Every structure is written in structure tokens, then in C-alpha cells.
């Protein structure tokens, strides 16, 4: 009988509060969302002490001026910005309602800084630099107090929202904060992939070449092959294929369409054809460092300029040479001065130093192979 009574009591307590002495401890159950709090930017300006943007678990200011200018520009464009998140409490001294902002610190701080003359709106040049192919900024290069009154009023009336959280212990607040920061940021390649241009379409086409699936063993789930294909286009657009390939401006300019007049079917066909040759002479190579494709592609460009004709017998001829470079780049922390790790091949100076040593080497490998084949043919003829 006792066991039966206890079983019933457990079932009942799962639905009702549990009595412990004189206090009531609520059992876990799904809760309704709290109603969000609508505010305007004017309230931020007039009552800044009502908004605590720096709870103890919050990180410092990390946004650049460019990030802050982009937020202001979004507001001028009439675009929504994500809601803030925080806790509502009553200040013990003043009796005022205060909101501890747990998510949105960077955005709210940026708005307060702009209101207080901390930075200007984008100039046309700054916006073009930060976001190629974007439209002109509204009221460019102005502090807030320099804006026309109607624009100031528009900005101050812009509606914001604070999503409220139930109060909890400090440790649980920190956990909630970490959960909110748990999103995966866009990779550099994914940011480039957001543009629409002929260069993007060309890179997407090049990314379907079997070379990537046959040779590249690195991460391909975050547009890495697309980024590598843009690198090939950049090398093809350069006279000798030697250029710095870690430039933000280079890739954003390409992806945004700044060089679309140069992106022709002939150029894309040339890249595809060279990748066929790369796959032939480097047959068997596997690499996970994306920059490895730079010397592989440049090798074909250099060989073609010597008028050497790639033969069927040259299949895999440069694979041992490239494999040795890959192993050096993976395993050696100190390498001889003549051996440039593949990770550094994004630099023009590294490419120049690399080819000063390795151009004679690859040509010697090709010529030795041709001589050996010729000698073998003569022996066969004599036999």
C-alpha cells in the first residue's frame, strides 16, 4: 500500500508545485514567451540610463566603425534590425524600470555612439569599399547633429524591440548569453558567394570541375571550392599569374562584378583547359591546404610559356615534386630558405621566390622524362 501511495504522489507532484517547508518550488514545465517591449531610438537618446548595455557577462565593444556605419545605413534604408534581448528590473534607488541588455550590446552601443557624435555616416567611397556594388549612402559623411531635421526625426522614431527574458541566476544568464552567441559566422568565401556577378557564375562553373573532387581533400562544405575557383580566375586575369591572393579588395571586387567585362567565355574555357592539364601532370596528388592549387596552376601557366608540349606520357610527372612540398608544409616548422611553405603562396613575394628556385626544377623533370622516353623508344627499335 505504501508503494502505491508514493506512486500516486509522484504523478501528482509532476503537475503541481512541490511544498518544501513554507516555500513553493515550481517544477519545470514549458513557459509562455514574455511580451516584447517596443521602444524607439529617441528613448535610447532621452533615457540612456534605462538601458544597461554592459552586464558583467557581456563582452567589450568589438564592432569596427564600418560595422556601426552599416547599422545606421540599414536604418536609413528602412530595413529591420534584429531585436535586442534582456532582463527587466526595477532600480532600487530610483524606482525606474531598467533593461539589462544581454544580446544586442554592439548594436545598442553603436546607436548611442552615433547619437552622441561618435562617428559619421558612410561616405560614398567608404560604402563602395565596404560593400562593392551597393547603392549610394543616404546623407553621406554626416554626424547625427549635422543631418537635416527631418532625417534626424526619422532616425529617432525608428522602432526597436527588446525581447524579455525571465530573471535567473547570474550563472544561468551567462549560459543564455553564450547560447545567443552560438551562431556560426559566415566564412569569407560565403560572404563572397552572396554577390551576383559574371565572376561568381564563372567561379561556380569552375568549381564543378572534377579536379576539385579528385584532388582536394579539405573542407568543401563552406564554399571553399568556390573561393579556390575565384583564385584561379584572378591568376588567369593576371599576365604572368603572379599576384597577391590574400587581398580582401581583390576577391570582393571580383565577386561584386568590378571586373565582369573581363570575364568572358574564352577566359573561363582557358581556366577549365588548364585545370585539365593540372589534373594530368599532377595525377595522384591529394591536398587539403587550398593554397596548394596556386603553384599547381601557376606551374601549368609557366610550362605553356616555355612552348613545352604536355604529352600523354607526362601523366603524374610532377606529382612526386608537389607531394614533397605538401609534406614539408604539413610537418616542418623550420624549412630551408629556398623551400616556401604552401600556406605562404598567397603572397606575391613568396610566389616569386618559390618559382626562382622551382621553375628550373619542374622543367628539368619534364625534359628528363622526355629524354628517358626517347631513349626507351630507341632501345625498343633496336630490339
- Regarding whether 312 and 223 lie in a shared domain, the answer is yes
Distance CA(307)–CA(17), nearest Å, equals 86
Summarize pLDDT for 264-303 with one digit per residue, the tens.
Answer: 999 999 999 999 999 999 999 999 888 899 999 999 999 9
Residue after which a domain boundary falls, among 183, 217, 246: 183
Lowest mean pLDDT, pick from 127-136, 202-211, 331-340: 331-340
| Residue 142 structural domain | 37-183
Within its chain, how far is the Cα of 52 from the centroid?
Answer: 31
Residue 30, in any domain of the structure: no
Structural domain total, the chain: 2
Q: What is the DSSP string of 12-23?
A: HHTTSPEEETTE
Residue 245, in any domain of the structure: yes
Query: What does the pLDDT read at residue 9?
Result: 36
Mean pLDDT of the chain: 84
Beta carbons within 8 Å of 215's beta carbon, 6+ residues apart: 279, 282, 285, 286, 287
Do 101 and 53 meet the contact criterion of CB atoms below 8 Å apart? yes
Residue 324, in any domain of the structure: yes
DSSP assigned state of 342: G
Q: Which residue(s) pair with 87 in the sheet?
A: 100, 165
- Put simply, whether the predicted model's pTM sits higher than 0.85 gets the answer no
- Regarding whether 234 and 176 lie in a shared domain, the answer is no
Task: Give the residue, 380 or 253, on which the prediction is more confident.
Answer: 253
Distance CA(224)–CA(216), nearest Å, equals 10
Query: What does the pLDDT read at residue 222?
Result: 53
- Regarding whether 193 and 179 lie in a shared domain, the answer is no
- Regarding whether 245 and 177 lie in a shared domain, the answer is no
Residue after which a domain boundary falls, among 183, 211, 228: 183
Residue 382, in any domain of the structure: no
Average the pLDDT over 302-312 and give the result: 92
- Regarding whether 194 and 135 lie in a shared domain, the answer is no
- Regarding whether 154 and 203 lie in a shared domain, the answer is no
Task: Give the residue, 185 or 115, on which the prediction is more confident.
Answer: 115
Q: Which residue(s) pair with 165 in the sheet?
A: 87
Residue 24, in any domain of the structure: no
Do 84 and 104 meet the contact criterion of CB atoms below 8 Å apart? yes
**Is 12's pLDDT higher than 60?**
no
Lowest mean pLDDT, pick from 177-186, 211-220, 282-291: 177-186
- Regarding whether 201 and 160 lie in a shared domain, the answer is no
The residue with cell 534584429 is: 82
Residue 243, in any domain of the structure: yes
**Phi, psi values for residue 133, rounded to 5°:** 75, 5
> Pairing relation of β-strands 97-103 and 84-90?
antiparallel
Query: What does the pLDDT read at residue 295?
Result: 95
Query: What does the pLDDT read at residue 380?
Result: 45
Summarize pLDDT for 50-99 with one digit per residue, the tens.
Answer: 999 876 655 567 789 999 999 999 999 999 999 999 999 999 888 999 99
**Is 17's pLDDT higher than 60?**
no
Summarize pLDDT for 242-252 with one digit per residue, the tens.
Answer: 999 888 788 88
Amino acid at each position: 500500500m505504501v508503494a502505491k501511495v508514493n506512486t500516486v504522489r509522484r504523478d501528482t507532484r509532476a503537475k503541481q508545485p512541490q511544498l518544501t517547508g513554507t516555500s513553493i518550488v515550481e517544477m519545470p514545465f514549458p513557459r509562455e514567451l514574455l511580451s516584447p517591449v517596443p521602444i524607439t531610438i529617441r528613448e535610447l537618446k532621452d533615457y540612456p540610463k534605462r538601458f544597461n548595455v554592459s552586464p558583467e557577462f557581456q563582452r567589450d565593444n568589438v564592432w569596427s566603425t564600418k560595422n556601426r556605419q552599416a547599422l545606421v545605413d540599414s536604418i536609413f534604408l528602412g530595413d529591420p534590425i534584429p531585436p535586442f534581448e534582456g532582463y527587466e528590473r526595477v532600480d532600487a534607488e530610483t524606482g525606474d524600470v531598467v533593461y539589462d541588455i544581454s544580446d544586442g550590446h554592439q548594436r545598442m552601443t553603436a546607436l548611442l555612439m552615433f547619437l552622441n557624435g561618435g562617428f559619421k555616416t558612410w561616405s560614398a567611397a567608404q560604402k563602395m569599399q565596404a560593400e562593392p556594388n551597393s547603392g549610394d549612402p543616404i546623407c553621406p559623411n554626416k554626424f547625427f547633429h549635422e543631418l537635416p531635421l527631418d532625417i534626424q526625426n526619422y532616425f529617432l522614431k525608428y522602432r526597436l524591440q527588446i525581447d524579455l527574458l525571465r530573471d535567473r541566476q547570474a550563472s544561468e544568464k551567462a549560459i543564455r548569453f553564450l547560447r545567443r552567441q552560438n551562431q556560426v559566422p559566415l566564412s569569407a568565401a560565403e560572404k563572397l558567394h552572396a554577390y551576383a556577378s559574371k565572376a561568381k557564375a564563372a567561379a561556380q562553373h569552375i568549381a564543378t570541375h572534377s579536379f576539385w573532387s579528385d584532388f582536394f581533400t579539405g573542407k568543401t562544405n563552406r564554399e571553399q571550392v568556390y573561393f579556390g575557383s575565384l583564385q584561379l580566375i584572378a591568376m588567369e586575369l593576371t599576365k604572368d599569374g603572379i599576384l597577391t591572393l590574400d587581398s580582401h579588395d581583390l576577391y570582393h571586387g571580383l565577386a561584386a562584378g568590378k571586373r565582369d567585362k573581363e570575364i568572358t567565355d574564352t577566359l573561363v574555357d582557358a581556366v577549365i583547359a588548364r585545370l585539365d592539364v593540372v589534373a594530368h601532370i599532377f595525377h595522384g596528388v591529394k591536398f587539403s591546404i587550398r593554397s596548394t592549387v596556386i603553384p599547381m596552376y601557376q606551374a601549368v601557366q609557366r610550362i605553356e610559356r616555355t612552348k613545352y608540349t604536355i604529352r600523354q606520357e607526362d601523366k603524374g610527372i610532377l606529382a612526386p615534386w608537389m607531394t614533397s612540398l605538401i609534406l614539408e608544409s604539413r610537418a616542418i616548422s623550420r624549412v630551408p630558405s629556398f623551400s616556401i611553405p604552401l600556406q605562404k603562396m598567397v603572397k606575391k613575394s613568396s610566389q616569386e621566390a618559390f618559382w626562382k628556385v622551382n621553375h628550373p626544377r619542374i622543367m628539368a623533370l619534364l625534359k628528363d622524362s622526355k629524354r628517358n622516353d626517347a631513349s626507351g623508344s630507341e632501345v625498343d627499335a633496336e630490339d
